[in-house]
Amino acid sequence: MQEHTKQKFAFTQEAVKQLITLSTAIIGVTVTFKDKILPSSAADAAWVLVLALCAFVFSAFKGIRTLYGVARVLEDVKADEEPSIVWTPMIRDPATEQIRGFVTGLGLLVAYFAATLILAR
């Protein structure tokens, strides 16, 4: 494989790993500090927080699926061959879903905190 193709795969893997790390970190912080994040005055908005956490879990699982897709594409390439494209549907589809899940989770998290501020008044 050519060096620039290796770099494309490495960049894809690193971007996916970073989103997995961010998703799981947000889940961990939210669960750890749930008493402070989920005050009793905002109990009506708790479902938004649950949806945000589900979106982050979805994003993490799709990231794992993307890494599997990268491994499958690299496995199918022989040492002296060049892969036809890096952005195959096996990589592109779960990566796109991972990004959508992460952005949705962030949006829901912002909506939850906005609702918490409004309900706290």
Give the pLDDT of residue 23.
Answer: 97
User: What does the alpha-carbon distance between residue 86 and residue 83 come to, in Å, rounded to a whole number?
Assistant: 7
- Residue pair 77/27 in contact (Cβ under 8 Å)? The answer is no
**HEC-encoded secondary structure of 98-121:** HHHHHHHHHHHHHHHHHHHHHHHC
36, two tokens: 């402070």
> Binning pLDDT at 50, 70 and 90, where does residue 76 land?
confident
Closest C-alpha to 84, from 73, 70, 93: 73
Classified as helix, coil or strand, 45 is: helix
Give the pLDDT of residue 83.
Answer: 66
Higher pLDDT: 20 or 84? It is: 20
- Residue pair 52/103 in contact (Cβ under 8 Å)? The answer is no
Query: Mean pLDDT, the chain, as a whole number?
Result: 88
Q: 15-30, pLDDT tens digit by residue? A: 999 999 999 999 999 9
Higher pLDDT: 120 or 70? It is: 70
